[in-house]
Structure 1
Amino acid sequence: MPELHIEPLAEPLWPLLNKFYRSHNSPMKAQKGGRLWVARDSEIVAGLCLTQVVGGQFLTGVFVDPAYRGQGLAARLIRQAVAEVDGTVWLLCHPDLEGLYQRIGFSQDTVLPQSLSERLVRYKRNKPMIAMGLQSPE
């Protein structure tokens, strides 16, 4: 894999992540108030968002350019982004992605904060979803 730069995205540059999502016809959007992380080659090739919730962070918007998939980039990006997070990192995903997140250390054995629990109920009305969590090292 080429040497990619993984780093937080400065707030004035946030529109670049949304442009990246749109260029791949992804419905994902950078969350205001979150902390955005990207992997760059010459341009953004992967991104994610961490948003503060009670007890930790909510991980959303994980997306890797199809040309860069299958090389462990999502795992590298997530590991670096959550390395200094205090508390739990939660995510909601399609059950098909469970293996990917398990390899990073996420587990379905987690207790969601109420805001995410309510969100999961809403999402499950329209599509299959699971919740996973990753405890920060103590």
Structure 2
Amino acid sequence: MPDTQYTLLAEPLWPLMNKFYRAHQSSMKAVRDAQLWVARREEIIAALCLRPVSGGHWLTGLFVDPSCREQGIAATLIAEAVNGLEQPVWLFCHPDLRGFYERRGFTFDPSMPYAMVERLSRYARSKPMIAMGLEPLVRSSIDNV
């Protein structure tokens, strides 16, 4: 299996992330005010956005090339992206993904700033959606195991 690199994408390369999403018919998009993280082999095989929000970060746009799934790529990409953050990380996901995120230290129904609660409420009107959160103390205790 080729070596996988997990890196923060430099700003001049941001269009490559949208190209990756489009190539897989994903509706996800790179967010300008976010840190854009990718997993690469010869090309991008996974991506996520880590966007600063009031009191923490919002993880969005996690997508792994279907031919590369079930290899731990998403888990490693998340771990690299949140490494060293001193604020909580929140995400919204389909309820079926709860177990995946719990195995990575996220908890269901975290405390969130009002703006995030409001956003979740809007999203949940059109599709099933739950909130998950990762606290910095949980991350550091996981890293020390």
TM range (shorter): over 0.9
Unaligned residue ranges in structure 2 (runs of 5+): 141-145
Matches of 1:85 and 1:11 in 2, distance apart?
20
- TM-score w.r.t. the length of structure 2 is 0.92
CA distance in 1, matches of 2:102, 2:63: 17
Query: Any idea what SS the aligned residue of 2:45 has?
Result: strand
Structure 1, gaps ≥5 residues long: none
Q: Separation in 1 of the partners of 2:89 and 2:127? A: 22
The secondary structure found in structure 2 opposite 1:63 is strand
C-alpha distance in structure 2 between counterparts of 1:2 and 1:56, whole Å: 34
Mapped to 2, the partners of 1:42 and 1:118 lie a distance apart of 40
> In structure 1, how many angstroms separate the alpha carbons of the residues matched to 2:27 and 2:3?
28
Instruction: Give the superposed CA RMSD.
Output: 1.0
Counterpart code for 2:26? S
Identity %: 57
TM-score (norm 1): 0.97
State yes or no: 1:113 paired with 2:104. Answer: no
Aligned: 1:97 with 2:93 = no
In structure 1, the residue matched to 2:18 is 18
Matches within 5 A, 1:19-38: 19-38=19-38
How many pairs were matched up?
138
DSSP 3-state at the match of 2:108: coil
The Cα shift of 1:109 comes to 4.2
